[in-house]
Amino acid sequence: MRATLDDPATAPGDPGRSFPPLRPGIPGPPNRHRDEDTISLTVVSKRLSPLLIALIAAVAAVVLVIAVGNALSEDESSPNVILDEPGEYQQPGIPTNAPLAGTALDTATILDLDGNDVDVATLLDGRPLLINFWFSNCQPCKREMPALQSAWGVFGDRVRFIGVNSQDSASITRSFAEDVGVEYELLRDPDAVLVAANGIATFPTTLFVSADGTIQLQIAGEASASDLESALDTLLGTS
């Protein structure tokens, strides 16, 4: 006999158990297996969410590392730039003075130990001039000062000796000169204007200037007594 909607439904395998007839819009009996599957999928999806996020982050990190590595490889493999006109190579190392022999002494305004202005041009009084650049913490400067003092004792009546201190105060300059026994004239160049004007880069440096203001010789570094005597003889034309 063909069943209709009005006929009671019979559970399979249980001919004695019947259910009310199904009607449109009314749900049938609950499906226990289907509900359990839905709950299981929900739990699994909640458990997988943090793992999925971590996996995505790890993949992104790997991609970033690969991209950076490729960029660095491209930079290393790129050809070197070659200049059509290479610049002059600057050798690093110890600074050196400008070559001054045969050039005119560049003048500037510096100070005496009382703080008064001194125009270096006025130091040329008709005699040749020896200018020694120094400062108190310069050990080679200190070592050569006795030799300068001795040379001044011999040549001081024919050559004007000037010591120019570029770093110390007036009081330190005075006390240092007294300790070493220096008696020749000392001036200060606190702003290093005379130093810069003549390209002095090493200390001590001694310039030997003729009466007309032309630098005849220069000694960069510590000068011995024989160095000074030879240079002063040349300056005076007596060598």
Neighbours of 200 (CB within 10 A): 24
Q: Minimal CA–CA distance to 186: which of 230, 158, 214, 149?
A: 149
Both tokens of 204, joined, read: 């001590």
Q: Which residue has the tokens 């009466």?
A: 211
> Has this prediction a pTM greater than 0.75?
no
d(CA 46, CA 221): 82
Both tokens of 184, joined, read: 């020749």
DSSP summary character for residue 29: S
> Which tens digit of pLDDT belongs to each residue from 57-90?
777 777 776 776 676 665 555 455 455 555 444 4
Torsion angle of C-alpha atoms 223, 228, 231, 235, degrees rounded to 10: 130
The average confidence (pLDDT) of the chain is 80
d(CA 139, CA 225): 16
Q: What separation in angstroms does the CA of 94 have from each of 121, 142, 166, 196, 225?
A: 30, 20, 19, 17, 25
d(CA 210, CA 159): 9
The CATH H-level superfamily of 109-236 is Glutaredoxin (3.40.30.10)
Considering Cα of 74, then 75, then 76, then 78, what sign does the dihedral take? positive
Q: Exposed/middle/buried for 211, CB within 10 Å: 0-12, 13-18, 19+?
A: middle
Q: Is the pLDDT of residue 34 over 70?
A: no
> Which tens digit of pLDDT belongs to each residue from 140-151?
999 999 999 999
∠ CA 151-159-216 to the nearest 5 degrees?
100
Range in 27-31, 93-97, 112-116 with the lowest mean pLDDT? 27-31
Contact between residue 152 and residue 185 where contact means Cβ atoms under 8 Å apart = no
Per-residue model confidence (pLDDT) at position 6: 46
> Which tens digit of pLDDT belongs to each residue from 156-170?
999 999 999 999 999
For residue 110, the SS3 value is strand
Per-residue model confidence (pLDDT) at position 127: 96
